[in-house]
Amino acid sequence: MADSFWSDADRHLIRYSGAGSFVPEIIERAEGSFVWTADGRRLLDFTSGQMSAILGHSHPAVVETIQRQAATLDHLFSGMLSRPVVDLARRLAASLPDPLEKVQLLTTGAESNEAAIRMAKLVTGGHEVISFARSWHGMTQAAAGATYSSGRKGYGPAAPGNFAIPTPNAYRPDFTTPNGELDWRRHLDFAFELFDAQSVGSLAACIVEPILSSGGVIDLPPGYLAALRDRVHERGGLLILDEAQTGLCRTGDWYAFQRDDVVPDILTLSKTLGAGLPLAAVVTSAAIEQAAHDRGFLFFTTHVSDPLVAAVGNTVLDVLTADRLDEQAAELGAYLRKGLLELAERHPAIGDVRGRGLLVGLELVLDRDTRQPANELGAAVTRRCLELGLHMNVVQLPAMGGVFRIAPALTSTHAELDLGLEILDQAITDCSQRGEFRRA
C-alpha cells in the first residue's frame, strides 16, 4: 500500500515547494505534540504543523467546536453575517490596543496581507511597498511582490513599486558598532537612503514581520520597529505588521509588537488564529477603515466571514485566555532556550540561538569564528532527526547557515521539549561524527 501511495503521489501531485520533495512518511493521525505515520512511528512535531497548531493537534475544545459548528452553520453567502464572526471581531479588538478595532476575517496569511496592502494603497493613494530582503508574506500577487526570501525567479515582472530593504541581522551584521554589535540605526539609515534614491514619492505601505520566520528567525532589535514606523509615516505610508507566526501568545506576549510598544496601522493575523485551520484577519483603525470604505474598498472572497472557522477562532481565544498560554509560552520558551544553549556548549556547529518565546531559531555553522554557513549539515541533521522521531524545519537561504525554526505547540510539556532536545543532540552528534554534511 505504501508503494502505491507514493506512486500515486508521484504521478498525480503537483510539487509545490522549491525543493520539490515531500517528507518521506505517510501521516495517518495527529494528537497533541505528535503525529503518527502509517507504519506506526510517532514523530514529535517541533513545527506545530505549518507553524500554526499552537494548541497542538486535535485539541479537544477545537474538535468539539468543529463538530458542533459544522452541524449547525458552516458557510454562508459572503454578504451574510453570523454571531461567531461578530464575536471574534469584537474579541480580537478587545485584545489589541487602540485604535485597532475594525476586523475582516479571511482564510490565509497571503490573503490577509493581500487585503492589507490593497487597503493601504487605496487609503494613501500610493503604490510603493517596502519589505525586508528576507521577507515571506505569501504567494498571491501583492504578497508575493513583497516576498524576497525565495520564489521570485521565472514568473516575470513583479508589480512596480516593490522595494526590498536589508534585514537587520544581529548574528550577521552589515553595520557594526565599535564593539562589533549590529548598528541598526546606521543600518536603517542606509536602507532608507536606498529607498529614497529609487522612490517616486508614492509610498503606500511597509509590511514586515516583528520576527522574520522564513528569513531565519531574525528578531528585530529593540527600538528598530518604532524608528521604522516613523520613517514610513514621514513618507506618507502605513505600517503593516504581519504576525502570522508571532501573534496570539507564541512569543510570550499576545502580540510580538507589544514588546516595542508600537501599534501598527494595519495588523494581519493568520496561522495561529485558526490553530491549524484556515483563518486569517486584517485589523485596522476606524479612521483607516472609513477612508477605505469611502474610496470603495473591495475584497470580497468566497470564504470571507465564514462562521465555521470564526467559531474555531473564538475557541482558540478561549483556550489561550483560560490556560494563560502567553505566560506558558514565555516559561517554556525560556526552558527550551536554556536547553539549546546547553547543546551549544557541546556542539561547536551551533553558532547562534535566537528568537522569543516558543519561536526559536538555531543556526548551524561550520566555524563559529567565521560563521561559515552549514547548509549541508542542516539538511543532514533534519534527515537524522526524522529517522530518530523528530520533525524539524530548516531554513536555507544564500549567505546563511542552516537555521532550524523551532516552534512547538504552546501546550507542549517539559518532557516533550526534553525529548526534542535529546533527539536533536543525538542527530547533531551522529551527523558531525559521520562527516555526512561534508560529503553532501
CATH number of 2-59+324-439: 3.90.1150.10
For 170, 349, 363, 405, the CA distances from 345, given in Å and listed in that order, are 20, 10, 14, 20
Task: Provide the pLDDT for residue 21.
Answer: 81
Mean pLDDT of 116-132: 98
- Per DSSP, what are the bridge partners of residue 359? 356
Name the band, by pLDDT with cuts 50, 70 and 90, for residue 136.
very high
Task: Provide the pLDDT for residue 398.
Answer: 62
Exposed, middle or buried, 331 (CB in 10 Å: 0-12/13-18/19+)? middle
Mean pLDDT of 184-210: 98
Question: Using one digit for the tens of pLDDT, what is the confidence trace for 266-278?
Answer: 999 999 999 999 9
For 78, 136, 188, the CA distances from 74, given in Å and listed in that order, are 12, 31, 46
Q: How far apart are CA 57 and CA 22, in angstroms?
A: 20
Say how many Å lie between the first and final Cα of the chain, rounded.
31
Q: What is the DSSP string of 23-51?
A: -SS-EEEEEBTEEEETTS-EEEETTHHHH
Q: How far apart are CA 68 and CA 51, in angstroms?
A: 26
Q: How far apart are CA 281 and CA 176, in angstroms?
A: 37
Question: Using one digit for the tens of pLDDT, what is the confidence trace for 91-112?
Answer: 999 999 999 999 999 999 999 9
Task: Provide the pLDDT for residue 304.
Answer: 98
Q: How far apart are CA 228 and CA 237, in angstroms?
A: 11
CATH number of 73-322: 3.40.640.10
Neighbours of 57 (CB within 10 A): 21
Mean pLDDT of 191-209: 98
Mean pLDDT of 242-259: 98
Residues marked as catalytic: 136, 209, 242, 245, 271, 405
Name the band, by pLDDT with cuts 50, 70 and 90, for residue 396.
low
Residue 245: CB partners within 8 Å, gap ≥ 6? Answer: 51, 209, 211, 213, 271, 272, 359, 407
How do the domains of the chain map onto residue ranges? 2-59+324-439, 73-322
Question: Using one digit for the tens of pLDDT, what is the confidence trace for 304-359?
Answer: 999 999 999 999 999 999 999 999 999 999 999 999 999 999 999 999 999 999 99
Task: Provide the pLDDT for residue 440.
Answer: 38
Mean pLDDT of 59-65: 98
Name the band, by pLDDT with cuts 50, 70 and 90, for residue 439.
very low
Mean pLDDT across the chain: 95
Name the band, by pLDDT with cuts 50, 70 and 90, for residue 435.
confident
Task: Provide the pLDDT for residue 187.
Answer: 98
